[in-house]
Structure 1
Amino acid sequence: MEHARPSPLQWALLAAGLALLVAAPLGLSPQSYEVRVMCLVLLFATMGVAWNFLGGLANRISLGHAAFFGIGAYASTILQRSFDLSPWIGMVVGMVLAATFALLLSIPTFRLRGHYFALATLAAGEAMRVLANSWASLTEGPVGISVPFRPEGSLWMMQFSDFLPYYYLFLVAFVLVTALFWWVKVSALGYRLRAVKENEEAAEVVGVDTYRAKLIAILISAAITAAMGTFYAQFQFFFDPDTVFGVASISVRIALIAILGGVATVFGPLVGAAFIIPLEELANTWFGGEAAGLSAFAYGVVLIVIILINPRGLIALGRQAVRAARGGGRTAPA
């Protein structure tokens, strides 16, 4: 079972995988496009793990995580521009603001289930996008906002002269968030969230405080997503409301990464991000200039094919392939 204590072999595989991630960009130019894509993979993989706290463990499908992401991006950038505060301080402020917004959002939406909950969270994210576009005196509106650039680079200001330091910063964030997710998954909170996923009414009957469990999950998820919004702002140096509060560009992409990789799995978001982000980049490179709709169409077709083959995601698809290989290509009788 995935939530059991890892075996020595699994620990060895984890160590080998971590070593591979550490060494992955070393043979490339620190300013290369490939390292930039790898940074984005780690960034969105971390947000996929954050989404799994609520969407994976409790099966509350959120399409509004762009609200938390945008809050984190704008909070740190505005504080840096206005008071020259370090993005690390702004990141903490953004995490608190995003958690507060999640708390307010949970009051009306936790009574909803299924697609009603998903639509409510989507509406919340869209409301934040409209607010950011309208409040131009604070956010610069649809024109977008720039992060003050420091050519010398500084860890304290979260700015570097090339992509390699960002890669390792995002890698540390991914490892820490993944470790937190695994700890929650095997803890009492994880079992309560899985009870909510299986049957919320039955869980309440046996004494599980389902509202408290879901509230803790969404607060953790919102805070982590906001922190990734700060990382994104310092990585891109410019963004606008449609970019950081976008439903398709952020909310749907985060959910797809977690679902495609494998819902509630520890490494599913990394697998999903390693598939989706490079595929998006390739599709935009091949089709973006000639036909704007073809890149999204090709991207969607590939996703549909994978989900039809195995709805549990790429992790389950890989396990299925391993079992088939061990069985000499034979499938078990129905």
Structure 2
Amino acid sequence: MLKKGGFVLSAGLVVLLMVALIYQIKNKYYLDILFMTFFWASLAAAWNISGGYAGQFSLGHAAYVGIGAYSTALLYINFHVSPWIGMVVGGLFSALLALFIGVITVKVRGPFYTLITIAVAELLYISAIQLKELTHGSEGVSLPFKPGWVNMTFRERETYVVLALLFVALIYFITKTMERRRIGYYLIAIRENEDAARALGVPVKEMKLLATVLSAFLTAVGGAIYAMYIMFIEPDSVLSFAFSIQPALMSIIGGLGTSLGPLIGSFVLSPLDMFLRESFSHINGLNLLIYGFLLVLFVLFWPEGLWPNAVRVYRKWRSGGVETKS
């Protein structure tokens, strides 16, 4: 196992190598695939903090994406606030909403918690449509194209891709650090058996709230970056149910409660989804049918996720064919 210094150095070298590779790609379509892959990876990794480690299975994270996107865009357009500041404000708004949800659902478990998160996201979606004076409703909001670092607006698509990559690396570092500390063990204990964790002295309420708030804040920042990339937002583009379901799917396929699982899930599913849409665009719905069928196969044959299974296969190979316990 790498020590902390070796881990940071290795991760830094990987990021630098990927940045160098990004600037070698000139095809805008491939750059768009890369951006969306990193974007979904960031959402999946942020969702995994609460859904994977703490077992808080939310299907309402679209609410945080929307808050981050709308806060950043509206502050930028109406008050000329830099998106770098706007995304922090959006993150704080999302954190407050997550704190409120966490407080009122602290004793709620399983599908009931999931239903509440869906209801909150749908409530925000409807509000974004109806509050036309604030959000312009279904007409949407167009962001002015004023290139510059202060405005988080760039002429080169590569810069957006690098920004998304750095954000993924930040969330991975946070998750990996958390995983190796007491908080990580606390969250896993809560996920496995909340009553037993409480009996052993784990501060269950505080840990669940911390995971939920941190997940919401990071998700909102991801929503802000996405808004500045597409330069146009409306309820369907930043508050749709896909922003709640896709991060959960990617974490499940990659490996719940692991630092690399959500990233691997995104690196597999995001390009696959875009490829299927491009290849079967002439047949309405066929891409969704194939995508859904492949997801079923993933869940049937690798229920633990791609990363845990890859680790198990590697350990079995290292041990000469004798499977060892993780």
From 48, 72, 75, the equivalent of 2:68 is: 72
SS at match of 1:24: helix
User: Is 1:102 aligned to 2:101, yes or no?
Assistant: no
From 171, 174, 182, the equivalent of 1:177 is: 171
From 226, 246, 249, the equivalent of 1:253 is: 246
Name the count of aligned residue pairs: 324
User: Is 1:43 aligned to 2:52, yes or no?
Assistant: no
* Letter aligned with residue 15 of structure 2: L
Cα RMSD after superposing both structures: 2.2
Equivalent residue runs for 1:297-316 within 5 Å: 297-316=289-308
2: CA distance, partners of 1:40 / 1:170: 9
2: CA distance, partners of 1:116 / 1:291: 37
* Letter aligned with residue 28 of structure 1: I
Q: 1:169 to 1:208 in 2, by over 3 A?
A: same
Contact 1:110–1:117 (8 Å) recurs in 2: no
User: Is 1:284 aligned to 2:268, yes or no?
Assistant: no
Structure 1 residue 159 displacement after superposition:
0.4
Equivalent residue runs for 1:1-334 within 5 Å: 6=3, 14=11, 17-29=14-26, 32-150=28-146, 153-247=147-241, 249-288=242-281, 290-323=282-315
Structure 1 residue 21 displacement after superposition:
2.1
2: CA distance, partners of 1:320 / 1:185: 19
**Unpaired stretches in structure 2, ≥5 consecutive residues:** none
Structure 1 residue 14 displacement after superposition:
4.0
Deviations for 1:166-219, whole angstroms, at most 9, x for unmatched residues? 111112211111111111122222121111111111111122210110001111
* Letter aligned with residue 250 of structure 1: F
Identity of aligned residues (%): 33
Q: TM-score, normalised by structure 1?
A: 0.90
Structure 1 residue 259 displacement after superposition:
1.4
* Letter aligned with residue 47 of structure 2: W
1: CA distance, partners of 2:14 / 2:225: 23
Structure 1 residue 13 displacement after superposition:
5.9
SS at match of 2:22: coil
Deviations for 1:213-242, whole angstroms, at most 9, x for unmatched residues? 000111111111111111000000012112
2: CA distance, partners of 1:305 / 1:12: 37
Contact 1:109–1:121 (8 Å) recurs in 2: no
2: CA distance, partners of 1:15 / 1:84: 34
Structure 1 residue 326 displacement after superposition:
5.2
Structure 1 residue 291 displacement after superposition:
2.5
Q: 1:238 to 1:112 in 2, by over 3 A?
A: same
* Letter aligned with residue 25 of structure 2: L
Structure 1 residue 137 displacement after superposition:
0.8
1: CA distance, partners of 2:315 / 2:201: 39
Q: TM-score, normalised by structure 2?
A: 0.93
**Unpaired stretches in structure 1, ≥5 consecutive residues:** none
Structure 1 residue 108 displacement after superposition:
2.3
SS at match of 2:309: helix
Contact 1:77–1:147 (8 Å) recurs in 2: yes
Contact 2:62–2:239 (8 Å) recurs in 1: yes
Q: 1:95 to 1:38 in 2, by over 3 A?
A: same
* Letter aligned with residue 27 of structure 1: Q
After superposing the two structures, state which structure 1 stretch, 105-114 or 293-302, moved more: 105-114
Contact 2:70–2:233 (8 Å) recurs in 1: no
Contact 2:103–2:209 (8 Å) recurs in 1: no
